[in-house]
Each structure stands twice: as structure tokens, then as C-alpha cells.
Amino acid sequence: MIRFNLGYVLKLLEEREGRRPTLKELSERSGCDRNVLSRMRSAPDVIPSATVIDKMVQFLFNELKDDDQTKHEALIKEIIHNFVSIFPDDQKYWKQIPKGIQDNPSVSLDDVWDIYNNQASS
């Protein structure tokens, strides 16, 4: 299951700008359709296209980066980790997911891979 945390994007922008941008502003600035952003916010089970995901990640990166290029890799990883949440659909895998995951469904791709590998080898 893949979920996109548009609230994270809005929170970061609010912290940076001192106000929360509207979806219309976010749409204009990121190049993503406002209706798509609205669906991402209201229906987390709707998965946007790869183009939209890429636009949002690139937009956030460009908004938050600074002149220190040594921090760019860490920034992009942080954005992806906090914007994209991935966890298994199949309930049989949930027993092995770290406690609290259902309240905060953000798990690294490495953890998901480990969960699937452990289940497959059992």
C-alpha cells in the first residue's frame, strides 16, 4: 500500500513561509493539477501518476535546498521518506511490522523488503 502525505508538504511550506499555502498556490508552484492534489489530500488510497509524484518531490526539494550540496542527498531522502509511505496491503504481514505502524504508516523500503523476505522464507 502506498500513501502520500500531502499534509507533510503543506506543513513544511507553512514552517518556511509563515503561512499555509492553498492547494491552488501549491498547484501553481509545483505544476500539479489542483484536482489531483485535492484527491491526494482527501482520498489517500488514490495513487497519483509517477509524473505527479516526481513533480511534488522535485518541487519540495527545490523549495527546501540550500547552497550546501553535501546536504542535498539527505534532503531528498528525507522528503521521500516523509512524503511517501509504503507498507504491505496483506494483513498477514502486519504482525511483523514494527509496533505503532498502523497509527503512523511510514516504514522504510528496506523494512518492507525485510518483512516480505522474512515471510517468504518462513
Which residue type sits at 53? Answer: I
More confident residue, 22 or 69: 22
Residues 6+ apart with CB under 8 A from 67: none
Contact call for residues 79 and 11 (beta carbons, < 8 A): no
Digit-coded pLDDT (tens) for 15-37: 988 999 999 999 999 999 999 99
Q: Are residues 64 and 116 in the same domain?
A: no
Residue 108: name the closest of 79, 85, 78, 75 by CA.
85
Number of domains in the chain: 2
Confidence of residue 79 (pLDDT cuts 50, 70, 90): confident
| Most confident residue range from 45-49, 107-111, 114-118 | 45-49
Q: Are residues 64 and 10 in the same domain?
A: yes
Residues 6+ apart with CB under 8 A from 47: 2, 4
Pairing of strands 84-86, 2-4: antiparallel
Q: Are residues 62 and 101 in the same domain?
A: no
The whole-number average pLDDT for the span 94-101 is 56
Q: Are residues 55 and 115 in the same domain?
A: no
Q: Are residues 96 and 109 in the same domain?
A: yes
Count of positions (residues) in the chain? 122
Residues 6+ apart with CB under 8 A from 12: 60, 63, 64
**How deeply is 13 buried, as exposed, middle or buried, from its count of CB atoms within 10 A (0-12, 13-18, 19+)?**
buried
pLDDT at 36: 92
pLDDT at 26: 93
Domain span at 108? 89-122
Read off the pTM. 0.65
The whole-number average pLDDT for the span 97-103 is 52
pLDDT at 121: 57
